[in-house]
Structure 1
Amino acid sequence: MLNIDRATYDAIVAHAKRDHPDEACGIVAGPEGSDRPERHIEMLNAASSPTFYEFDSTELLELYKQMWDRDEEPVVVYHSHTATEAYPSRTDIGLASEPNAHYVLVSTKEHGNNEGPVEFRSYRIIDGEVTEEEVTITTTSTGS
């Protein structure tokens, strides 16, 4: 199960809506081994595409250096789907390289960057196997 605070949830949804019609992507870091998403980091979609996302390799390397220095790990890896449901594509599954991370997908297909709800779902992806998990949104912040 993914436990995420309301502010982080809202920030991920806002990022997905703002980048629509391109896919948005980012990471929520947390203390190593804690499974607590605490620090939201919006990333650049280097592909600038409505159907694919790609982390900028330089930006991603810098983020990993920061996380290592802070004893953090990626707790949530997220991106948006702009024209399809919030379910991992074959490409998404192939790119899933963090076995401890929650993979969050946000679908903006229904309302785009306008007001309205999004589809927000979380998965564990280990060795190509996708398992959907429950998402619980808490009212208190889990960290910084």
Structure 2
Amino acid sequence: MLTVPQEIYDAIVAHARADHPDEACGIVAGPEGSDRPERFVPMTNAERSPTFYRLDADEQFKVWKEMDERDEEPVIVYHSHTSTEAYPSRTDVSYASEPNAHYVLVSTRDADDLGDFQFRSYRIVDGEITEEPVTVV
């Protein structure tokens, strides 16, 4: 189960809406081993695409180095889908390299003036996708 503070939930959704019609991406860092998402880190989609995302390599290196220095890990890895449901694609599964992370997808595909969206969370380990409940606090 993913428990996420309201302000981080809102920030992820706002990033997805702001980057629409391109996919948005980023992470939420938290203390190592805590499973607590605490620090929202929006990142650049190097692809600038409505159907694909890739974290900018230089930015990712900097963010992961900063997490190491702060004894943090990526608790949430998120991105948006702009024309499909909030469910991991084959590409998303192939990118899932953080076994302890919650993989959050926000779909803006059904958004009427970006009012509606889906927010779903998954665990992806060894290619196996498991949806989990999300609690906003």
Aligned length: 137
Q: For the residues of structure 2 that align with 1:73 and 1:102, how far apart are their CA atoms?
A: 11
Q: For the residues of structure 1 that align with 2:71 and 2:47, how far apart are their CA atoms?
A: 29
Match of 2:121 in 1: 122
CA contact (8 A) 2:106 2:119 kept: yes
> After superposition, what is the alpha-carbon deviation per residue over 1:64-85, rounded to whole angstroms, capped at 9, x for unaligned?
1100000000000000000000
Q: CA RMSD in A?
A: 0.8
2:93 matched to 1:93? yes
> After superposition, what is the alpha-carbon deviation per residue over 1:38-94, rounded to whole angstroms, capped at 9, x for unaligned?
000000000000000000000000001100000000000000000000000000001
Match of 2:39 in 1: 39
Match of 1:73 in 2: 73
Identical-pair percentage: 67
2:102 matched to 1:102? yes
4+ long deviations beyond 2 Å:
none
Match of 1:136 in 2: 135
Offset of residue 117 of structure 1 = 2.3
Match of 1:142 in 2: none
CA contact (8 A) 2:108 2:114 kept: no
| Consecutive unaligned residues in structure 2, runs of 5 or more | none
The AA in structure 2 aligned to 1:36 is R
The normalised TM-score by structure 1 is 0.94
Q: For the residues of structure 1 that align with 2:118 and 2:71, how far apart are their CA atoms?
A: 31
SS at match of 2:78: strand
Q: For the residues of structure 1 that align with 2:114 and 2:41, how far apart are their CA atoms?
A: 23
SS at match of 2:85: coil
The normalised TM-score by structure 2 is 0.98
> After superposition, what is the alpha-carbon deviation per residue over 1:11-32, rounded to whole angstroms, capped at 9, x for unaligned?
0000000000000000000000
| Consecutive unaligned residues in structure 1, runs of 5 or more | 139-144
Match of 1:20 in 2: 20
| Bigger relative contact order (CA 8 A; separation at least 6) | 1
Residues 91 and 115 (structure 1 numbering): CA distance in 2 closer, same or farther, change over 3 Å?
closer
